[in-house]
Amino acid sequence: MAHPQVLRDMALFVEVAKRKSFSQAAVALDVPISSLSRRITQFETSIGLRLLDRTTRKIVLTPHGEAYYEQATRLVEEAQRTFDELIAQAKGPSGLLKIAAPPDPWVLRHLSAVAGDYARRYAQVRVHLDVWPHLVDLAQDGYDLALAVGAPRETSMITRKVAQLETGLFAAPDYLDRAGRPDTPADLARHQAVLVAPSASGTSPAAASPSGSWPLERDDASVSARVGRAVSSNSQGMARRLVTSGHGIGLLQVIDVEQDMEAGRLERVLPEWRGLPNPVYLVTTSRLLPAKTRSFIAFASRQLAEQLAPRGVTLDEVELATLYDLQEA
């Protein structure tokens, strides 16, 4: 049988290695930094191996530390999940649920409604939403999950696709009156473009390539349409403002410009052509999740899929089967 102190030290080590900071780990664990540092040093001494290289600026895992961290993380997460499930059986999902999300207009509208409905159903869970223009470090910043548009660049993230957002070409009527209305994708090269450039949050399929072209689709046909001089932003909201202000043609998410279309502020350009859809993911750092996170993912996945399906591109059968196989805690 493992000595109880070994299990406690394993959990302490995982928290320090995950956050790469004694001070942040100490805050998360609610223990003094000196006590935490001493326990890790004693733990390394007891096994006769150095797991962490410490400098004044950062902490780096040694090769032994990397190998141990991978194994220890699974054990600690499984132990935490078992504990959470016992608590959930007694009183249901509980605790603080921290969620990070981008500031896209549709996110502010739809995710707020989903989070509010979830909070009413699970009164023991306190939901906190943070809005960031990029995907944060979930583990280091203490988030349970994130909503991301486009695939995260960090391949170790666990992702679940919940929707695909349709994209199309739009411009302000006054811009089109001045510059003319393109008849074919090739005409876009003569127009000013508003580009949504990839950001740190992930890669957007609909974004323009570095060479300045848009991938467009129509039925079974596809083209790479070269665009003219451009202004760009990593924000869908900012790109929408630039387009509605008459600064050019933009490849935007349809869901973000519905009201602009109805009010006559925007006009669809080359309506038979569309950009590649932007996938929407719920992102976590592990498959072993506490009850609060699992229940929110199950709840939000269904809600977002149903709300966004009429405004986007339908998921395929395998993705839908995976989505509706989720079980709430």
The residue whose two tokens read 């090769």 is 63
Least confident of 19-23, 42-46, 105-109, 201-205: 201-205
In this predicted structure, what is the pLDDT of residue 81?
78
Least confident of 41-55, 158-172, 191-205, 281-295: 191-205
In this predicted structure, what is the pLDDT of residue 177?
97
Nearest to 251 by CA among 220, 219, 223, 283: 223
Residue 26: other Cβ atoms inside 10 A: 20
pLDDT tens sequence across 132-190: 877 788 888 889 999 999 888 887 889 999 989 999 999 999 999 999 999 999 999 99
Q: Is the pLDDT of residue 322 over 60?
A: no
The residue whose two tokens read 């995710």 is 111
DSSP string, 47-96: HT---EEE-SS-EEE-HHHHHHHHHHHHHHHHHHHHHHHHHHHHH-S-EE
Query: What is the separation, in whole angstroms, between the first and last Cα of the chain?
Result: 31
The full set of domains in the chain, from first to last, is 4-90 (1.10.10.10), 93-163+279-324 (3.40.190.10), 165-276 (3.40.190.290)
Q: Which residues of 128-139 are buried (b: 16+ CB within 10 A; e: fewer)?
A: ebeeeeebbebb
- Give Cβ neighbours of residue 40 (< 8 Å, ≥ 6 apart): 9, 12, 13, 16, 22, 51, 52
If you average pLDDT over every residue of the chain, what do you get? 86
Rounded to whole angstroms, the Cα distance separating 317 from 208 reads 29
Q: Which residues of 290-312 are buried (b: 16+ CB within 10 A; e: fewer)?
A: bbbbbbbbbbbbbbbbebbeebb
In this predicted structure, what is the pLDDT of residue 185?
96
pLDDT tens sequence across 201-257: 445 555 555 457 899 999 889 999 999 888 998 888 899 999 999 999 999 999 999
The whole model's pTM is what? 0.69
Q: Is the pLDDT of residue 315 over 70?
A: no
